[in-house]
Amino acid sequence: MVNLHRKIFNEHLEKGVLLSNKWGVPQFAKKKRFMLKLQNNNGRTELFDPIRKRWVLFTEEEKVRQYFIHELINKKIPASHISIEKQIVINGMDKRYDILVFNKDGTPWIVVECKAPHIKLTQDVVEQVARYNKILNAEIVGVTNGAEHHFFKIDYNTDTIHPFDFTGLKLPYHPNL
């Protein structure tokens, strides 16, 4: 499956199907503005995560994660269907996925790996989310650094993977949401 991810990812890159901007601003933020709720806590900047309902350290990766969460909510995905940074066990090792979206029956639907804007979305990043998905079995997997993103739809019946345009996702895309 990882080799299939590599093949699809490389084809996706060759076709130039990338969304990015020259300033490194997350593409999701350009569509609709929103404000991050920030606070200073003993010299550390924190932001309020509306899904986890707590203050978290403000990092570049967290900023990308929050922009993506905002995009999910803009697409009318209920906050109760979004899970952030939960632990899973892969080959006996504790790992954490960044974002997981469930459909209403609790089945994983979308798993997303977020990276800071300066991190390139390489094959290793795609393989990371693919490893997580071996446990999660989500229908859609994706990687984003805010400036560019790649999503893939997995058809488990035919064992095929296809590039997926997340920006074009219109609900109700999934009948169980």
Residue 88: pLDDT over 80: yes
Residue 59: pLDDT over 50: yes
Q: What is the pLDDT of residues 125-162, one digit of tens each?
A: 999 999 999 999 999 999 999 988 899 999 999 989 99
Residues 89 and 76: beta-carbon distance below 8 Å: no
Q: Which of 121, 135, 174 is nearest to 10 (CA)?
A: 121
Domain 2-168 in this protein, CATH class: alpha beta
In angstroms, rounded to a whole number, what is the distance separating the alpha carbons of residues 23 and 26?
9
Q: How many residues in total does the chain contain?
A: 177
Residues 102 and 119: beta-carbon distance below 8 Å: no
| Domain boundaries of the chain, sorted by first residue | 2-168
